[in-house]
Structure 1
Amino acid sequence: MKLLDLQGYASPEDSKTHIRIPFELDEGCGKLNLRLQYAPKTLENREEALQLLMNSYDLYILPENREYAIENADRHLPLKNLMTLSLDDARGYRGACHRHDEVQELFVSEREASPGLMPGKLVSGPWSVTLSLHCIVTETCDYRLQIWTTEEDAI
């Protein structure tokens, strides 16, 4: 049964923020499925990427280390958007999938779960997904979160 199909977008101003997305889980669920996808993954404009790096060096690198960082900036390219997912059930934390993949197919059931998520009873009640927008380097980054249940437990 489909529980959620949410589409949105983020911009660089949304970096270092979180989006909490609540949903309800009914009794009788054998497996909770989640799919997160976002695009684009990579900032293709080299000049923009280098400018973002220079700005970050001013903020995060000690003055005496900046020259080395600037000379080696190419090793940090291409810059990439990073969006990750955490899951909570009615009782609390059920895990986090802090991966760099722009498409994540995840599941949790009583006996098994995707790496980063914890298997266990799928309690009915309020659940939530938290999208962590670690870094958005493109002008916009579209995302889609889909959540659905199936009766069968993972094998």
Structure 2
Amino acid sequence: MKLLDLQGYASPEDSKTHIRIPFELDEGCVKLNLRLQYTPKTLENREKALRLLKDSYDLYILPENREYAIANADQHLPLKNLITLSLDDARGYRGACHRQDEVQDLYVSDREASPGLMAGELVPGPWSVTLSLHCIVTDTCAYRLEVWTTEEDSI
């Protein structure tokens, strides 16, 4: 049964923010499935990427190390968007999937879970997914979060 199908857009101004998305889990759920996808993954504009890197060097690198960082900026390319997912149930934290993949198919059941998520009782009541928008480097980044239940505990 589909519980959630949310689509949205993020921009660079959304970097370092979180989006909490609540949903309700009914009694008798055997397996909870989640799919997070976002696009584009990579900033293809080299000049813009180098400009963003230089700006970050001004913020995060000691002045005496900046010249070296700028000369070696290519080692940090390509720049990539990063959105990750955390899951909470009615009792609290159920895990986090802080991966680089732009498509993540995840699950949790009482016996098994995707790496980063914790298997255990699927407690009925309020749950939430938190999307962490660590870094958005493209002008826009489309994301989609789907949450659904299945009656079988198979992968």
Please confirm whether the aligned pair reaches a TM-score higher than 0.5, indicating the same fold.
yes
- Count residues with an aligned counterpart: 155
Separation in 1, partners of 2:70, 2:32? 46
Contact 1:109 1:154 in 2 (8 A): no
Q: Name the counterpart of 1:72.
A: 72
1:71-110 matched pairs, under 5 angstroms: 71-110=71-110
Paired position in structure 1 for 2:9: 9
Residue in 2 aligned with 1:122?
122
- Cα-to-partner distance string for 1:121-153 (whole Å, 9 max, x where unaligned): 000000000000000000000000000001112
Q: Give me the whole-angstrom Cα distance separating, in 1, the residues matched to 2:24 and 2:149.
A: 11
Matched, 1:137 2:117: no
* 2-structure distance, mates of 1:55, 1:67: 13
Task: Report the secondary structure of 1:42's partner residue.
Answer: coil
1:43 aligns with 2:43: yes
Aligned-residue Cα RMSD (Å) equals 0.6
Contact 1:110–1:122 under 8 Å retained in 2: yes
Residue segments in structure 2 that go unaligned for 5+ positions in a row: none
**Sequence identity percentage:** 86
Structure 1 runs, 4 residues or longer, greater than 3 Å off:
none
Q: Which ranges of structure 1 fall in alignment gaps of 5 or more residues?
A: none
Q: Secondary structure at the match of 2:48?
A: helix
